[in-house]
Structure 1
Amino acid sequence: MGRRNWVGILLAGCTALSFGNVAKADTLADALVGAYNTSGLLEQNRAVLRAADEDVAQAVAALRPVLNWSADVTRSFGRSGTTTGTVVGFADNEANIGLTAELTLYDFGATKLNIDAAKEAVLATREALVGVEQEVLLRAVSAFFEVRRASQDVELRQSNLRLITRELRAARDRFDVGEVTRTDVSLAEARLAAARAALAASQGSLAVAQQEYAAVVGRKHTGPLQAPRSRPSLPGSVDQAMSVAVRNHPDLKAAQHQVTVAELNIAIAQAAMKPTVSLSGRYGLSDDLDSDAYTAGGSVSLSAQGPIYQGGRLSSLVRQSMANRDQRRAILLQTTTAIQQNVANSYAQLAVARAAISAGQNQVRAAQIAFDGTREEASLGARTTLDVLDAEQELLDARTTLISAGVDEFIAAYSVLAAIGSLTADSLNLPVQRYDPSVYYNLVKDAPVASQQGEDLNRVLRALGKQ
């Protein structure tokens, strides 16, 4: 084998390696996975949920004994005197240590109500986290398709620039042979300058879209984005979609749990008007540091206490809780209406985009025929350069409109998924490690202190800190 053949094989191998290292085009699934894994907003709201989980632990702790210790060392000193003028100084040193315990025996269910309210608040916060997840994923969808829109627009503008450059060259050639006037050349030059400005603006829009994509997905990707192979599956009608939304939308579920919390708060405010029975005990040791004397002993007491008159504060708290309950019910009704409206709006936008696609395809087809015919007639002298440029602009506008309509259709389709509560990692079956809100809750719901459960909780916290 000759030396040239070896060089050719080596060059071919290097070329294959270089193409193998070209960055893979991102898919929509890649963008959604990146947004789910890197979103700071999701991390923020997961921390909010963990804080709500701790409210359950704190409410549970109120059912348990409260143990406290105390210790002090006291030095007492001074002088004592008599009427005869005798003055005697004194100083005493004493150490005390004590242990106290207190347990609420009965409070007419107030503590249990606090636990139930905390659990309902956790469920509401979980649904709010799902709502944030939908916002993050919908923003990723929008960022993905806006990059595609801007990229395709840049390609169109570049193609348009090349075409107008050829038209300008043809106009100059025809001017040189006296077929057109200087005006035709100037018109082509003006259109070329406008095309360059439009290309620069389009490239700027692409740069902005790429920055948004990087912010949402968590990484930059300047290459092409792969078009989705299919559109998402949607309910067959607006009524079906509304029915799904009313059952599944996380905002509606969160509002329902908030209504329950408000109703429990009324019962808690009413329970505060009733007495509380508690058991308390104390044991202490007192040592006189200046002698061998000491005392040790304790006490156990059963006590009951309750309000008699607090200036109307407790009644006001009950009325306030009722007003908050009414507010939450109104919010639930408003949320239901807003969700149904969003579903209808999303379907309307989807219908508009699909109609625009159908009309755009017809417009592109007709504009292409018109442009080809105008350019052919111009070569025969039956059309002017301006006619050709106008026909080319019509074709460019038609293609741009068709591209935008295609992007709008995808964004509207995923907006429908968000409107019915189905734009989640679970519903989309994204290949990500799902965040399970029950893991942390199960570790803290019993208010662990030091045990195997406490060690498991510490490992979870350390893992969260490394993310």
Structure 2
Amino acid sequence: MTKRRIALTASTAALAILITSPAPAETLQEALAKAYRNNPTLTGARSGQRAIDENVPLERSEGLPDLGATGSYTENIKRSENSFTSPRRLAQGGVTLSVPIYRGGGVANRVKAAKARVAAGQADLRGTEASVFSAVVAAYMDVIRDTAIVGLNQSNVRALEVNLEATRDRFEVGDLTRTDIAQSESRLAVARSDLRAAEAQLISARENYIRLVGSPPADLQPPPPLPNLPAAPEQAVTVAIENNPDIAAAKKARDAAAYDVRVARASRLPTVSATADGGYVDYLGSMNSALVTSQHETTAAAGAQVTIPLFQGGGPGALVRQAQARESQSIEQTIEVERGVIAQARSAYASWQAANSVISSSQVAVDATRLSLEGVRAENSVGTRTILDILNAEQEYLNAQVLLVTARRDAYVAGFTLLAAMGKAEARDLGLDGGVLYDPVVNYERVKGRIWDWDEDPAPQAQSTSTVDTPAQNSIVGPLNSD
């Protein structure tokens, strides 16, 4: 009986240590900060947003002057006998300047559409950030849950080993039968199989953590309480409608589609350009001096060009109708995204509340099954309970503990998902340490007015970290779980 009580105490201690006691190692905020700096999905999305930023100077360049120069050298190897003024050789150069004056509003509206898509991209980047953080939180909690489950299964195996030993001892004195031994052996074999499955799940959780964070998990501390969770689903929806990045991106994409309609209409309006060009020709002394007065020429011209479309085969009308259809599509997509966010917020709230209820009931179940197990063991000692009763009680106790661990993980993940749906799960909301937060507006302000043709950025380099040198994870629980 002493060994059985020791096994029960060890199982209880494992639950207390693995679930409630903070370990002085990696925190959730530190894991999120690592992912913020190193996750390739997030760093790649930032690069993609910088590419979108360049659409503004690209569209603006269509409305700026175009200046070009030409030069050539010609050697006339054979000249016509009737061409008395044809030079033997000449060098010439010219400069051409074209200045767009009016493009039917096409350039201005393309620039506005590009700016709207930049804003949409910035909102999409916020959404990517929240999505990556949600995945990191889930991975973090998975490691904590699976570490606890492995510890609980280990304690269960040890307890069943003690039970089997005691059963064999009682069989030797004729107190129990071979059936009792077979039941104990069977339950122990199943428990060992469950332990192996739990260990494999822990290894998978740790590898997924590395994929998202970029480094192995250390002894993960329990996460801090989630802030500013809503009191009702209606409050969650109200905040989500105002702050969710997916809705903001959809609205900006709708604005860009409206500008595209104006761009299409500009294709049937007149265009006006001013032009100027100058040229210089030097015959290099090869002209017949008796027939010409100069061995070089200089020319210059300036003017304006007006193009008035009269008939283009219905192309402009098709472009306008196409742009209008795409605007209509973007309007519907905005409503679709809004519906999805509303459903996500309400579902996450319901999942969060349900998981909290499961935590409360699971805690009651853990307490009750612990008392039940102690009682069944005491009754077995006086012959009123069988070995099978003890085995069933131990299994119920283990199941209740696993359910409690899982419910705590599910509640936290659901709560964070709820914050993400509300647009409150981004770096600016989480107070991440480790340097200045990435601001996509900085790059946009840097490039939007640049007009120099030879302006480039430094050669691209990887911002995220490779995990190829990270050792394969194991199922050891405790300080060595990152080795």
TM-score by length of 1: 0.88
Using the alignment, how far apart are the partners of 1:74 and 1:315 within structure 2? Answer: 48
Identify the residue that residue 109 of structure 2 maps to in structure 1: 113
Contact 2:245–2:423 (CA<8 Å) still a contact in 1? yes
Superposition deviation, residue 370 in structure 1: 1.2
Identify the residue that residue 438 of structure 1 maps to in structure 2: 441
The C-alpha deviation readout for 1:148-194, integer Å capped at 9, x for no partner, is: 11000000001001100100010010011110011111211121111
Using the alignment, how far apart are the partners of 2:316 and 2:440 within structure 1? Answer: 36
Contact 2:60–2:111 (CA<8 Å) still a contact in 1? yes
Using the alignment, how far apart are the partners of 2:139 and 2:176 within structure 1? Answer: 47
Identify the residue that residue 58 of structure 2 maps to in structure 1: 58
Identify the residue that residue 367 of structure 1 maps to in structure 2: 369
1:294 partner letter: H
Identify the residue that residue 279 of structure 1 maps to in structure 2: 274
Q: Tell me, what secondary structure is at the counterpart of 2:310?
A: coil
Contact 1:78–1:91 (CA<8 Å) still a contact in 2? no
Identify the residue that residue 390 of structure 1 maps to in structure 2: 392
1:175 aligns with 2:168: no
Q: Tell me, what secondary structure is at the counterpart of 1:273?
A: coil
Superposition deviation, residue 40 in structure 1: 0.9
Superposition deviation, residue 24 in structure 1: 4.6
Superposition deviation, residue 233 in structure 1: 2.4
User: What are the equivalent positions in structure 2 for 1:67-82 lying under 5 Å apart?
Assistant: 67-78=67-78
Superposition deviation, residue 464 in structure 1: 7.0
Between stretches 428-437 and 206-215, larger displacement belongs to 428-437
1:351–1:463 distance in 2 versus 1, CA, 3 Å: farther
Superposition deviation, residue 74 in structure 1: 2.9
Identify the residue that residue 319 of structure 1 maps to in structure 2: 321
Using the alignment, how far apart are the partners of 1:52 and 1:131 within structure 2? Answer: 16
Superposition deviation, residue 289 in structure 1: 4.2
Q: Tell me, what secondary structure is at the counterpart of 1:73?
A: strand
Superposition deviation, residue 76 in structure 1: 3.8
Q: Tell me, what secondary structure is at the counterpart of 2:54?
A: helix
1:322–1:50 distance in 2 versus 1, CA, 3 Å: same
Using the alignment, how far apart are the partners of 2:151 and 2:89 within structure 1? Answer: 91
Superposition deviation, residue 450 in structure 1: 8.2
Identify the residue that residue 16 of structure 2 maps to in structure 1: none
Superposition deviation, residue 355 in structure 1: 1.4
Unaligned runs of 5+ in 2: 1-22, 288-294, 464-483
Q: 2:146 aligns with which of 144, 150, 153?
A: 150
Identify the residue that residue 310 of structure 1 maps to in structure 2: 312
Q: Tell me, what secondary structure is at the counterpart of 1:71?
A: strand
Using the alignment, how far apart are the partners of 2:414 and 2:259 within structure 1? Answer: 40
Q: Tell me, what secondary structure is at the counterpart of 2:239?
A: helix
Superposition deviation, residue 290 in structure 1: 6.0
**Matched pairs, number:** 431
Contact 1:259–1:325 (CA<8 Å) still a contact in 2? yes
Using the alignment, how far apart are the partners of 1:122 and 1:429 within structure 2? Answer: 26
Identify the residue that residue 4 of structure 1 maps to in structure 2: none
2:348 partner letter: S
1:201–1:25 distance in 2 versus 1, CA, 3 Å: same
The C-alpha deviation readout for 1:394-423, integer Å capped at 9, x for no partner, is: 111111111101110000000000111111
User: What are the equivalent positions in structure 2 for 1:178-217 lying under 5 Å apart?
Assistant: 178-217=174-213
The C-alpha deviation readout for 1:260-297, integer Å capped at 9, x for no partner, is: 11111111111121111100111112222462622221
1:217–1:393 distance in 2 versus 1, CA, 3 Å: same
Q: 1:376 aligns with which of 348, 360, 378?
A: 378
Between stretches 229-238 and 351-360, larger displacement belongs to 229-238
1:234 aligns with 2:237: no
Q: Tell me, what secondary structure is at the counterpart of 1:63?
A: coil
2:156 partner letter: N
Contact 1:124–1:254 (CA<8 Å) still a contact in 2? yes
Contact 1:56–1:115 (CA<8 Å) still a contact in 2? yes
Identify the residue that residue 297 of structure 2 maps to in structure 1: 295
1:413 aligns with 2:409: no
Identify the residue that residue 124 of structure 2 maps to in structure 1: 128
Q: Tell me, what secondary structure is at the counterpart of 1:398?
A: helix
Using the alignment, how far apart are the partners of 1:302 and 1:75 within structure 2? Answer: 35
Using the alignment, how far apart are the partners of 2:180 and 2:269 within structure 1? Answer: 94
Contact 2:157–2:192 (CA<8 Å) still a contact in 1? yes
Using the alignment, how far apart are the partners of 1:236 and 1:434 within structure 2? Answer: 30
1:402 aligns with 2:404: yes
Identify the residue that residue 38 of structure 1 maps to in structure 2: 38
Using the alignment, how far apart are the partners of 2:130 and 2:460 within structure 1? Answer: 22
Between stretches 416-425 and 378-387, larger displacement belongs to 378-387
Using the alignment, how far apart are the partners of 2:156 and 2:299 within structure 1? Answer: 97
2:254 partner letter: V
Using the alignment, how far apart are the partners of 1:117 and 1:250 within structure 2? Answer: 19
Superposition deviation, residue 257 in structure 1: 0.6
Identify the residue that residue 427 of structure 1 maps to in structure 2: 429
1:39 partner letter: N
Using the alignment, how far apart are the partners of 1:403 and 1:194 within structure 2? Answer: 21
Identify the residue that residue 98 of structure 1 maps to in structure 2: 94
1:262 partner letter: A
1:245 partner letter: A
